[in-house]
Amino acid sequence: MLASSYPLIDLNTFHMDVKAQWFASFKSKAELRALLADSRISEEPLLILGGGSNILFTEDFEGIVLKNNIKGIQVFEETNESILVDVGAGENWHQFVVKAVDNGWAGIENLSLIPGSVGASPIQNIGAYGVEVKDVITSVEAVNILTKESRQFSQAECQFGYRDSIFKQEEKGKWIITKVRFALMKNAVLNTTYGAIKDTLNKMGISIPTVKDVSRAVIAIRQSKLPDPAQLGNAGSFFKNPEISINQFNSLKENYPAIVSYPIDATKVKVPAGWLIETAGWKGKNFGTYGVYKDQSLVLVNYGNADGNDIKKLAQSITHSIWEMFGIQLEIEVNII
């Protein structure tokens, strides 16, 4: 049953006060298929919603919003070394991480405290602190919106990249992810290469960390620089970190000796967009109802009653200024609706 004129303010972490023309949630593939049988599905725009933590609504959604509530965390296969776990797409990502960490299953502890649902995690290949979800995904199950058939995408078929997958490219808008299979490790091989993790563990007085220690360190780092969406509306990084050629980087370094970079390959580096935006003077800018977060310039925030269009325009102004100052084209990470 589709409800009409449904408020979305509590279903998006930017807290945009918009409505869906039609709305329903589903707890199983059967419920999803029943909803997809509605004739309006082929006629109206459709939006699949998880936790709403990577979306900026700029207006009411004139179409159908379907919220994924498929739950369940089940061990599919277990050996002495590893564990394959099937997780319903509507599970909360961080709650799944907590369960894995509590069981001593390693692989996703660096991805602690990322908001949103398990089903959205493959879409932009969520990543943080040296780990991307592609490192632990073995397959993704999805239902085709037109045919209602279910199919498995292997890890390779997902074509994962930095904040990218086939679900953002040629298969965009065609599938509803219902389940994700993860391969986690029982004998932890921890990734503490990200400098801030090592420093935080040192400050915590931990020299031989456990899976739980790394998770705690990541949570502490994130809480120190990212706003809690429950307190301050936001969708995490608004932009991707751009990749530029080493030649361009070297010439920028002459004018900006402090510029930061991460190696990609022999010809390219990644530059933190947060550094560019801060250097261009945007950090902490407050425009009344919206602005740039004071501790992390990649994050645009809603101070209360912001209009999504103002945040979109701010993003455009930032993009323009970064182009003018550095000759670097920023790309927006958040889905603007």
Out of 51, 119, 229, 274, the residue judged to bind ligand EPU by CB under 6 A: 274
* Residues between 216 and 235 with contacts to ligand FAD, criterion CB under 6 A: 226, 229, 234-235
Choose the catalytic residue: 163, 181, 216, 222.
163
Decide: helix, strand or coil at residue 13.
coil
* Residues between 44 and 103 with contacts to ligand FAD, criterion CB under 6 A: 47-55, 68, 89
Known catalytic residue: 163? yes
Residue 205 phi/psi, 5-degree rounding, is 75, 25
Site string for ligand EPU, 107-126 (x = CB under 6 A): --------------------
Of the candidate spans 7-15, 44-52, 133-141, 296-304, the one that interacts with ligand EPU by CB under 6 A turns out to be: 296-304
Q: Does 128 bind ligand EPU (CB under 6 A)?
A: yes
Decide: helix, strand or coil at residue 163.
coil
Report whether 225 contacts 295 (CB < 8 A): yes
68 binds, among ligand FAD, ligand EPU, none (CB under 5 to 8 A by kind): ligand FAD
Q: Does 328 bind ligand EPU (CB under 6 A)?
A: no
Residue 308 phi/psi, 5-degree rounding, is -55, -30
Q: Does 165 bind ligand EPU (CB under 6 A)?
A: no
d(C-alpha 276, C-alpha 270), whole Å: 12
Pairing of strands 268-270, 262-263: antiparallel
Least distance to ligand EPU, CB of residue 310, Å: 20
- Looking at the Cβ atoms of 27 and 186, the one nearer to ligand FAD is 27
Site string for ligand FAD, 98-137 (x = CB under 6 A): ----------------xxxx-xxx-xx-xxx---------
Decide: helix, strand or coil at residue 26.
strand
Lookup: tokens for 180: 């994700």
Beta strands in the chain (DSSP E): 3-7, 19-26, 46-49, 55-56, 61-68, 73-78, 82-88, 127-128, 131-132, 137-144, 150-154, 175-185, 233-237, 243-245, 262-263, 268-270, 290-292, 299-302, 335-336
Choose the catalytic residue: 53, 117, 121, 237.
237
Report whether 272 contacts 328 (CB < 8 A): no
List the one residue out of 28, 29, 23 whose CA is nearest residue 45.
23
- Residues at the site binding ligand FAD, with contacts judged by CB under 6 A: 13, 47-55, 68, 89, 114-117, 119-121, 123-124, 126-128, 175-177, 226, 229, 234-236, 335
Cite the active site residues. Answer: 163, 237, 333
Which residues of this chain interact with ligand EPU, rule CB under 6 A? 128-129, 225, 236-237, 240-241, 260, 272, 274-275, 278, 283, 296-298, 333
